[in-house]
Amino acid sequence: MKLKVYTKDGSSFTEQDFENIPQFEGDKGLFALKETIVAYQANARQGNASTLDYGHVSGTCRKPFKQKGGGRSRHGTMKSPIHRGGAVVFGPQPRDWSKKINRKAKALAFSRALFDKCSENGLCVIEEFAAPEKKTKAVAKVLSNIKADGKVLLVDDVFGDDFILASRNIARANFCESATLNALDLVQFDTVIVSRKGLDTVLARINKDER
């Protein structure tokens, strides 16, 4: 598969063929990709929403007033859900939302997400990420030269401190190391810019998982 490889300032590019990028036909891997993304999002949920049901509300169980003769509805306790400060009916309780992802399914989903992103021209390669002047303007100009639209994910083996300082103020740009890149990252960002070293690491991960 051919990808655009930009110079480090993004001013020019050449198209190069990367044979190690996985290839898919039809719907193969789409179900695994969907299940993996759902699992990633579920595992990010805290699940700590909690309300007080009838058994957890503190207070007296004394009958608030006599059963008859007052001209009011009958009540047995002030902990009833219809009273202010009372219990909550069917409210949320702490729970574990996590889902298990099989290793092979995760690897298949990652390969499919990478293939889709490359097929949609949403992924490009840059020789290296550099910001010699530590200026945000310089990094913004690189993104402008590459014509990176929407939310941008920058992927490299290890980012230098100078580049992080120069680009952290760009709101639509995010960082990710190639060793931790996953299928959700590839799906939720509009444009992925990966360094040549970073792409080599990603492809090495895919080849290792396929063995």
What pLDDT was estimated at residue 210?
64
Residues 125 and 25 occupy one common structural domain: yes
What pLDDT was estimated at residue 55?
85
What pLDDT was estimated at residue 105?
93
| Residue of 184, 50, 25, 42 lying closest to 115 (CA atoms) | 25
Residues 63 and 79 occupy one common structural domain: yes
The β-bridge relationship of strands 13-17 and 2-6 is antiparallel
Instruction: Using 50 as the pLDDT threshold, list the residues of the chain that sit under it.
Output: none
Residues 90 and 102 occupy one common structural domain: no
Residues 158 and 191 occupy one common structural domain: yes
Residues 30 and 60 occupy one common structural domain: no
Q: Are 112 and 33 in contact (CB under 8 A)?
A: yes
Residues 54 and 40 occupy one common structural domain: no
Q: What domain range is 27 assigned to?
A: 2-45+98-210
What pLDDT was estimated at residue 149?
84
Residues 25 and 63 occupy one common structural domain: no
Residues 172 and 110 occupy one common structural domain: yes
Q: Residue 10: which CATH number?
A: 3.40.1370.10
Q: For the chain, how many structural domains are there in total?
A: 2
Residues 25 and 74 occupy one common structural domain: no
What pLDDT was estimated at residue 98?
92
Residues 114 and 160 occupy one common structural domain: yes
What pLDDT was estimated at residue 155?
93
